[in-house]
Structure 1
Amino acid sequence: MAVAKPRVIIIANNIEELGGAQRVVHVLAQGLSHRGYPTELIGVVPHPQKHRYVIDPAYQSTTLMSEIWPPPIAPSGLLGKYRPQVRKRQANRARLRAAAIERLREILSSGPPGVIICAQLWAMEYLRAAGYDNWKVVGQYHASFEAAASGRDLRRALRNYQDVSTVALLTAEDAAQFADAGLRNVCWVPNPLSFWPVETAKLRGQSVTYLGRLSAEKGPEILLDAWSRLDERFEGWQLQFIGNGPLEGALRAQAGALGPAGQRVFFRPPVEDPARVLLESDVLALPSLTEGFPLVLAEAMACGLPVVAADCAPGVRVLIRDGINGLLAARGDAGNFAEKLARVMDSIELRQSLGAAARTSVEYLQAPQVLDQWESLIAEVTSAH
């Protein structure tokens, strides 16, 4: 007689925004549902632009808050906290938070306890407030240990994940560093790919692609600086930034000041189908200053696309073996990034060999293989006392 599989709840800050973390939780929810786990995906807050990740989801999905989470108003002056606008905003945030926690309690109590996968720290704060007696909890952190230690996240992780069943980090190196910092019972599971293309990139054009958010930690201005250093051999190439973010205006101005090189820089809006863009590209550039386990990098490699990435995190180094399946550049060094771009742009043979090796090297990240790891982890935590 088959043993019934446990109920699984996956909770994240939001599940509607167009982004890597959201894509991962939808892939996980769909995969576990297809393997017989009663699965529900929960977002804490709604997003103004809702993206549909799965056409025919086998899982239930819920957003806890009924309204967009309003940002706080910083009080100014000695009596600023008593201003009516500040007090009204604080009361509204408290109301939304209390309602979300109560809704989460209702969901948790609507069926037998099983396993909760908490994808993000803020979502874990809501889970702790709701209570999770008799549930097994797997915490996650989607950035590197270095990123956590450089800000508030390390303290938040140690506080919020202190009594969960296990914490799944993205690489073995990150897991070891979190353990050394005091986080007990860690393991590591990589992010799964959301697609595996049948065909690979043709590599017959001359386009370098940046695909992601235009924000400081992603280093797009470093890529533009590197682009400006390329010599006239590459005047037939173009650079496309696909995405949006707070730096878009500054980047457009930076590109406009580059002269002829800037005329070959294009800005395009975010896309819902990254595979199509990657398959039509010739090089992917990832100039980030910090990363976790960059999904866009793994997706590009799955497409057989040669990649140039900044050596900014263990997740990048797990994916790229320099000179074998991609090229690594020194973090924050536009000159070195330009050298690596020139090397791959200058040789179709190198682009083809790196792209072929890249695709082979990320086969283990296909969803079925990563789901096998999650099933083993679920079995382990549910059998533990």
Structure 2
Amino acid sequence: MRVVLIHYRDSASLGGSLRVGELLGKHLGRFGTEPHFLFAYGGPGPVASSSGVPCHFLCAEGPADPQGWRNARRILRQVDPEILHFINPVFWLSLALLDWRPKVLHVHGPMEPGRTRLRDRVIWRSFRYLMSGYVCVSQNMRQKMLAAGWSREENAWVVYNAVDCQALARVPARDEARRLLGLPEAVRVLGFVARQVPEKGCFDALELLAQLPSRFHLAYFGDGPLHQDLRRRAEGNGALFQRVHFRNTQDDVRPVYGAIDYLLFLSKTEPFGLTIAEAMACGVPVVGLAGEGGYREPEFPLVTEETSVLSPRPDHEAAWGETPAGLLSELAERIVRLDEDSGRRGEMSYKARSHVREFFDAPRQVREMVKVYHAVCQRQRRGG
């Protein structure tokens, strides 16, 4: 079987979706599937340079670029795949390939139909008629798709995300990682690894840092629409700003997890929590606030009380308001207690690493994805 994995662009700024596609591309060959990457915009980036998978670039200038449409059809005639897997929802490309079946769409989220713009709701409803199936990263995400009427029971599958545990076992030593990233050595670093958007709780991280002892520093890794506002907020408090570090999105996340002492997770909603899985695979303790999302699903939990320190947020709707100061104070106290208990940290890291290796390692995800490919192709042959 030959599959084309479709992304917006080959750029680490895409965050988790690029890493999901890259992981699939690197491992599908072991399961009898030949992968190709197709990028709608831009040129070669981290995937092209390191994945070893054939990469094709449309170099489209936008959705209305006729050359992009022609390039897509020309490349796919050459590759001749059995299935198209849209890792990102490139709507115009699904229209350009309207007669090309089967197509599946990866649903990463966050999916909040009630908070989605009308234009985007129309696009997602249109995908129902353009796609042969959906791959959701959690049961929570699948239920949201069904409730919104954006998919049907029979063509929505759940394939949990995974990480490459073998690759993540090779992180740089702490001193080397901090030197590479320009972080101070003799401090405790909370790493905020996420796009800087409202649902990630970016400003809560600053409020939390203000309640922690001065030995704690905060490092933001990534970018997003809130980046400048975050900088201004941090700069407004001179003493606090000395403990805040802004770093770009990293093509290779291993130095990040080698450099930080804790992953700080504050998302108000999170479909899966890929950075949680990455941190756990690297033995980095996860601390923060637990909002709504698939990473705590009882059927297949990514985090448990034994593998993380997560204080529960208020109910889902309340979580979108201002985070109660008392909740951040409680979290600060829990982090300090954990930091003072090296035995507990070591046990947590060991259990977290073992849990991810058993349930969220790459081969497990890829095996399930190949099953979906075969199921979709079989339904297509039957005219479903």
Normalising by the residue count of structure 1, what TM-score does the alignment of the two structures yield? Answer: 0.80
Larger radius of gyration: 1
1:211 equivalent in structure 2: 193
- Identity percentage over the alignment? 23
Secondary structure of 1:13's match? strand
Secondary structure of 2:36's match? strand
Aligned-partner residue type, residue 116 of structure 2: G
| Cα deviations by residue, 1:147-201 (Å, 9 ceiling, x for unpaired) | x442034442221133532211110122123223321121111222144433689
Aligned-partner residue type, residue 336 of structure 2: M
Segments of structure 2 that go 5 or more residues without pairing to the other structure are 175-185, 314-318
1:171 matched to 2:165? The reply is: no
Query: Is the Cα–Cα contact under 8 Å of residues 226 and 338 in structure 1 kept in the other structure?
Result: yes
Query: Is the Cα–Cα contact under 8 Å of residues 138 and 168 in structure 1 kept in the other structure?
Result: yes
C-alpha distance in 1, partners of 2:350/2:173?
A: 11
2:180 equivalent in structure 1: none
Q: Once structures 1 and 2 are overlaid, which stretch shifts more, 296-305 or 348-357?
A: 348-357
Query: Is the Cα–Cα contact under 8 Å of residues 33 and 59 in structure 1 kept in the other structure?
Result: no
1:104 equivalent in structure 2: 72
C-alpha distance in 1, partners of 2:93/2:125?
A: 16
- The change in CA–CA distance for 1:352 and 1:111 in structure 2 (over 3 A counts) is closer
2:294 to 306, 309, 315: 315
Query: Is the Cα–Cα contact under 8 Å of residues 201 and 305 in structure 1 kept in the other structure?
Result: no
Q: Once structures 1 and 2 are overlaid, which stretch shifts more, 242-251 or 295-304?
A: 242-251
2:279 equivalent in structure 1: 300
C-alpha distance in 1, partners of 2:281/2:48?
A: 20
| Cα deviations by residue, 1:184-239 (Å, 9 ceiling, x for unpaired) | 12111122214443368999962211123333332211110121133xxx222222
- The change in CA–CA distance for 1:337 and 1:350 in structure 2 (over 3 A counts) is farther
Aligned-pair CA distance for 1:12: 1.8
C-alpha distance in 2, partners of 1:380/1:302?
A: 30
- The change in CA–CA distance for 1:58 and 1:270 in structure 2 (over 3 A counts) is closer
Segments of structure 1 that go 5 or more residues without pairing to the other structure are 1-5, 70-92
Aligned-pair CA distance for 1:117: 0.7
Root-mean-square deviation (Å): 2.7
1:193 equivalent in structure 2: 163
Aligned-partner residue type, residue 17 of structure 2: A
Secondary structure of 2:46's match? coil
Query: Is the Cα–Cα contact under 8 Å of residues 31 and 367 in structure 2 kept in the other structure?
Result: no
1:373 to 354, 368, 377: 368
2:228 to 235, 249, 258: 249
Aligned-partner residue type, residue 145 of structure 1: M
1:75 equivalent in structure 2: none
1:291 to 253, 270, 282: 270
- The change in CA–CA distance for 1:145 and 1:321 in structure 2 (over 3 A counts) is same
1:83 equivalent in structure 2: none
Secondary structure of 1:279's match? helix
1:340 equivalent in structure 2: 331
Query: Is the Cα–Cα contact under 8 Å of residues 125 and 160 in structure 1 kept in the other structure?
Result: no
- The change in CA–CA distance for 1:258 and 1:111 in structure 2 (over 3 A counts) is closer
Aligned-partner residue type, residue 140 of structure 1: H
Aligned-partner residue type, residue 188 of structure 1: V
| Cα deviations by residue, 1:295-343 (Å, 9 ceiling, x for unpaired) | 2121011111111243333233245545321133314526323422431
Secondary structure of 1:12's match? strand
Normalising by the residue count of structure 2, what TM-score does the alignment of the two structures yield? Answer: 0.80
Query: Is the Cα–Cα contact under 8 Å of residues 171 and 257 in structure 2 kept in the other structure?
Result: no
Q: Once structures 1 and 2 are overlaid, which stretch shifts more, 266-275 or 255-264?
A: 255-264
2:349 to 334, 355, 360: 355
Query: Is the Cα–Cα contact under 8 Å of residues 137 and 272 in structure 2 kept in the other structure?
Result: yes
1:90 equivalent in structure 2: none
Query: Is the Cα–Cα contact under 8 Å of residues 5 and 35 in structure 2 kept in the other structure?
Result: yes
Secondary structure of 2:105's match? strand
The count of corresponding residues between Structure 1 and Structure 2 is 346
1:181 equivalent in structure 2: 148
1:145 equivalent in structure 2: 111
Q: Determine which structure has greater relative contact order: mean sequence separation of CA pairs < 8 Å that are 6+ residues apart, divided by chain length.
A: 2
Aligned-partner residue type, residue 352 of structure 2: A
2:22 to 3, 26, 31: 26
Aligned-partner residue type, residue 136 of structure 1: P
